[in-house]
Structure 1
Amino acid sequence: MNATTAFGPDFPFAYDDWIKNPAGLGKLPRDMHGTPVAIIGAGVAGIVAAFELMKLGLRPVLYESGRFGGRLRSEVFEGSDGIVAEMGAMRFPTSSRGMFHYLDMVGCKTRPFPNPLTPAAGSTVIDLEGQTFFARSLDDLPPAYRDIAEAYDKALTDQVGFPDLQEALRARDTARLKALWDPLVAQWDERTFYDFIAGSEAFGAHDFRHREIFGQVGFGTGGWDSDFPNSMLEILRVNLLGFDDDQHLVEGGCEQMLRRLWSAEPDCVHWPDQTSLASLNGGATRSRAVALSRDAAGRTLLTDQWGNVDTYDAVLVTCHSHLLTTAIDTDEALFNQKTWMALDRTRYMQAAKTFVMTDRPFWNDLDPATGRPVLSMTLTDRLTRGTYLFDNGPDKPGVICLSYAWMTDALKVLPLNAEARAELALKALKQIYPTVDIARHIRGAPKCVSWEADENFLGAFKGALPGHYRYNHRVYGHFMQSEMPDSQRGVFLAGDGISWTPAWAEGAVQTALNAVWGILSHLGGASLAENPGPGDLYPEIGPVTLTDPVPSSAFL
């Protein structure tokens, strides 16, 4: 497994060690055992938090507005025997030790993801401005591509001291890591990814064409131009934590991890043997949460879509932050105004995917004229952007992600149905593979997703803009509630959009665990001395604080 782990850098807490410690995550007062805790959202953050809270002796009550699983959405093709399209998360870096802890716990099997220029892909085709290159490794591509890879490595070394950061992170040297990382926060929070590239001496030795190629096909998993407007801190975390390296897919679909956790029967405090989240919830989640408020005693009132009102001492919100103002009638007094600013200003990126099932993995056939596979993993500046091939075995149907696109490229197909998107993708691929009849191999109906069009998501994942560090800090640290007024305590936040690492399931896992500690503390419990939790170490090694500007009197 990758030596790099998702340890920090903003808050270098060893979540993987915490959840594996045989002492457990903590202990509640006996009179709190069985206390109901509401959890809004049955995605990664919601299910992981519910699972750990149940083990502590609480009764998690799950509310779900749409489909169980959130963005771990594995859709089975009609007429197939479990052949899936991963509509949301589909590649999991092995540095995500928290996520892999739960994958391993429930027996999910993984294998390398067929990313460009990896052995799992077999071969890669890069098609830019009508020029097509076939490659099995970086060395097979023209010199410009190697120049780009070397320039990016040099830019990271020159501008942020990347090798030293990597060494500190791999050694889990907390003091050294924070000493290196914290100064970078102020330096790069208000600068974009493109600024980092264009302003580097390494890329300055090359012309615009090199930056253009970098944006179109990039490094690791593909092109990065959709992230060019983002804060450079967002990209640095992805690079440093190894999120773009050594990625795996989950055989049979990643959604099964959450379904297995839902039905798992772990050893629990208070609850009898064979207790599961499913059994505590009567076999099904509650309906959509539509309102949050306080009662006279200071407890939280949660109303579902059918008008049912329940009272809770603690509520965990794991849905996208914008739903707190657009879909859930939330009492403003539950959060202070700076937190509301952060929640409302969180910026989500768009993403679109189109999948088809094929009769077999025909792309493994060799072209007699070239001796190469007839179809390869493909990166292009055409509408499809990224095309991925999933081989389920020679005797099973294959799956092609015809197109995976972000931001503007995702918006181009937003009004179109699945068939229209598939037809556009096939037309684009025909320009790259003029002799290959992909359509002849397609079986059943295509599947597509645009997360920004889903009322329960309003976007695929967070993408912090320059200047958003303070916002992220506010929502990430919201689980530390001891200094909040009583009127704002008891409602917690989790999810990858609350984390420092949006778009990655590990961020959802880690913020879920923060919330578990927060709820444990809120209900009078605590971590054990031999296994301190994130809130115990947060005051010492928490994220660096950037000073808020003093407001002008004109705005007071």
Structure 2
Amino acid sequence: MAAYELERLNYRVRILEGNTRIGGRIHTHRFGPDPGAPSVELGAMRIPTHHRRTLEYIEHLRLGENVREFRTLLSDENAFLHTADGFVRIRDASGPLHRSFRRELARDRHPGSYDDATVAFGAWLTAVVGAIAPPDLRDALRADLRRQLLDLVARIDPAPYLTGAAGGRVDLHALFAAHPGIRAGCSGRLNGFLDDILTETSPALLRIEGGMDQLPRRLAERLRGPVSCGRKVVGVEVREHDVLVHSRTAARTVVEPSDFVVCAAPFPALRRMRLTGLDADKLAVLREVDYCPATKVAFHCREPFWQADGIDGGASFTGGSIRQTYYPPADGGRGRGAALLASYTIGREAERLGRMSPRRRHRLVLEELSAVHPELLRPGMVLEAVSTAWGHTPWTVGCAMRWGKDAAEVEEERVRAARPVHRLFFAGEHTSTTPAWIEGAVESALRAVEEIDGYAPSRRPAAALGIHDPAGAW
């Protein structure tokens, strides 16, 4: 993104990409070489409708006609939800969730007495956070509910926000939008994650039919300068009038000077490089920015067997080691099988899966998911399994910035992370106000371009080098 915008300003740009493919954390896997092969997103897979910059680039790159609705967790009432009573359909989950939540309140000796609507709020918020959040934030939610969140909700009467056939489900998006004050009952850690929780379960999500990787590929096609894949950057040396970049190919190490360098590599990957000329505060924030691991496992199935179960899309919360299971739309041709995103995990579960060998990882996911979908064990049903453990990928060492700070801490860290060092500039979702989304990568790229162009506009056309690994939205 930064390279494209710099070239539009007449800078000469070269991209060094350590990976053998472009796209960074946008990674569409296709089960076959043909255009009609089933595909699955092993990286970024959705775009909120309010992410204006991302959608503008999609239109600019003539991908607008490929934009489709993304069906997310809890969007299909025939999908499954893991409860204390076992796996139930989402349409039937209110009863088990409410009973479990009341038992939890009693076990914790919570002094409050709440009506059914308030219990429904607590039960469904617990279910959503349990499905999406890392384990530490699940614990934070339980503490927040006990402390004051339930009392705040009880005062506003959540009954008007009950939905579902039996009125046992709560429209969390509408409730929080109408009563933002109840967020005062959330700790700083949970409050910072709440926007992502609500966004990820929102009906206002989009995808690109044919693969999210069309976005970086269209950008790359428009570049005039070279994109050098397989060029691992091993060192960056900031000097007064230029920046030296040390990169390694299969045969040798190359040292290249450049007037400006944009580094979009996540900080955990940047920490593995030899860095010279960076000030103490920059080195400190490089150490402090932490990334959350994520692991995705996908199966190529002989047929979309879940459709016979009435599941047309969306996702199930399967719990255990595999957490979330998504049912991608069958964009490929008939008779080619169907893709299933069998497991999407973040945090400790993702790290545990990531440490396994791919074969063991795939076997564990198959065993656990077959408790929900026994069809997976039919002979010949699973044709192929693939996975990406982003916490163990050298170009990223994680999926996105780790959550868990309050708003003031996040902003302070963002400013420090984004600050340039002389002629070395920084981009990527970790330097943006929208971490964990493609929007953050776009926002940060545009900021870095503006900073470079404001640094020495009289030097154009200057040379700029990009250390490339764009952030993807999860």
Which TM-score tier does this pair reach, normalised by the shorter chain? 0.7 to 0.9
The reply on whether 1:312 has 2:253 as its aligned counterpart is: no
The Cα shift of 1:247 comes to 1.6
1:354/1:448 contact within 8 Å kept: yes
Of 97, 100, 112, the residue aligned with 2:69 is 112
1:289-300 alignment to 2 at 5 Å?
A: 289-295=233-239, 297-300=240-243
1:357 match: secondary structure: strand
Cα separation, 2, equivalents of 1:79 and 1:262: 20
471 and 387 in structure 1: CA distance in 2 versus 1, 3 angstrom threshold: closer
1:418-457 alignment to 2 at 5 Å?
A: 418-434=358-374, 436-440=375-379, 442-457=381-396
1:293/1:302 contact within 8 Å kept: yes
Of 24, 47, 52, the residue aligned with 2:5 is 52
Of 398, 409, 430, the residue aligned with 1:459 is 398
Of 168, 184, 189, the residue aligned with 1:231 is 189
Of 60, 67, 70, the residue aligned with 2:24 is 70
439 and 389 in structure 1: CA distance in 2 versus 1, 3 angstrom threshold: farther
The Cα shift of 1:250 comes to 1.8
1:133 match: secondary structure: strand
The Cα shift of 1:107 comes to 2.8
Q: Which amino acid aligns with 2:45?
A: M
The Cα shift of 1:299 comes to 1.5
The Cα shift of 1:422 comes to 2.8
Deviations 1:243-282 (A, max 9, x none): 6522222212111210111112xxxxxxxxxxxx1x321x
Of 303, 306, 311, the residue aligned with 1:363 is 306
1:461/1:497 contact within 8 Å kept: yes
139 and 414 in structure 1: CA distance in 2 versus 1, 3 angstrom threshold: closer
Deviates more, 1:191-200 or 1:72-81: 191-200
- Match of residue 287 from structure 1: 231
Deviates more, 1:192-201 or 1:346-355: 192-201
Cα separation, 1, equivalents of 2:259 and 2:123: 49
The reply on whether 1:381 has 2:319 as its aligned counterpart is: yes
The reply on whether 1:398 has 2:338 as its aligned counterpart is: yes
416 and 64 in structure 1: CA distance in 2 versus 1, 3 angstrom threshold: same
134 and 304 in structure 1: CA distance in 2 versus 1, 3 angstrom threshold: same
The Cα shift of 1:425 comes to 2.1
309 and 362 in structure 1: CA distance in 2 versus 1, 3 angstrom threshold: same
1:151/1:202 contact within 8 Å kept: yes
2:318/2:372 contact within 8 Å kept: no
- Match of residue 183 from structure 1: none
1:343/1:475 contact within 8 Å kept: no
Q: Which amino acid aligns with 1:50?
A: A
Deviates more, 1:83-92 or 1:347-356: 83-92
The structure carrying a bigger strand percent of its residues is 2
Deviations 1:395-453 (A, max 9, x none): 1421111111111211332233333323222322332345x345446353200111111
- Match of residue 150 from structure 1: 121
496 and 478 in structure 1: CA distance in 2 versus 1, 3 angstrom threshold: closer
1:127/1:133 contact within 8 Å kept: yes
1:99-178 alignment to 2 at 5 Å?
A: 99-108=54-63, 109-118=66-75, 121=76, 123-136=78-91, 143=98, 147=118, 150-151=121-122
The reply on whether 1:259 has 2:198 as its aligned counterpart is: no
- Match of residue 50 from structure 2: 95
Q: Which runs of 5+ in 1 are unaligned?
A: 1-47, 156-190, 207-217, 221-227, 265-276, 367-371, 482-487, 527-556
The Cα shift of 1:122 comes to 6.1
480 and 97 in structure 1: CA distance in 2 versus 1, 3 angstrom threshold: same
377 and 292 in structure 1: CA distance in 2 versus 1, 3 angstrom threshold: closer
1:414 match: secondary structure: helix
The Cα shift of 1:361 comes to 1.9
The reply on whether 1:199 has 2:147 as its aligned counterpart is: yes
75 and 373 in structure 1: CA distance in 2 versus 1, 3 angstrom threshold: closer
Cα separation, 2, equivalents of 1:229 and 1:423: 38
Residues paired across the two proteins, number: 394
Q: Which amino acid aligns with 1:85?
A: V
Q: Which amino acid aligns with 2:441?
A: A
- Match of residue 409 from structure 1: 349
Cα RMSD after superposing both structures = 3.6
Task: Report which structure shows greater RCO (CA 8 Å, sep ≥6).
Answer: 2
The Cα shift of 1:513 comes to 1.0
1:125/1:134 contact within 8 Å kept: yes
1:468-507 alignment to 2 at 5 Å?
A: 469-470=408-409, 472-476=411-415, 488-507=421-440
The reply on whether 1:322 has 2:268 as its aligned counterpart is: yes
The Cα shift of 1:106 comes to 1.9
Q: Which runs of 5+ in 2 are unaligned?
A: 102-116, 127-138, 155-170, 174-185, 460-474
The Cα shift of 1:62 comes to 0.4
Q: What TM-score, normalized by structure 1, do the two folds share?
A: 0.63
1:260-275 alignment to 2 at 5 Å?
A: 260-264=218-222
Q: What TM-score, normalized by structure 2, do the two folds share?
A: 0.73
Cα separation, 1, equivalents of 2:85 and 2:94: 21
1:383/1:409 contact within 8 Å kept: yes
The Cα shift of 1:149 comes to 6.2
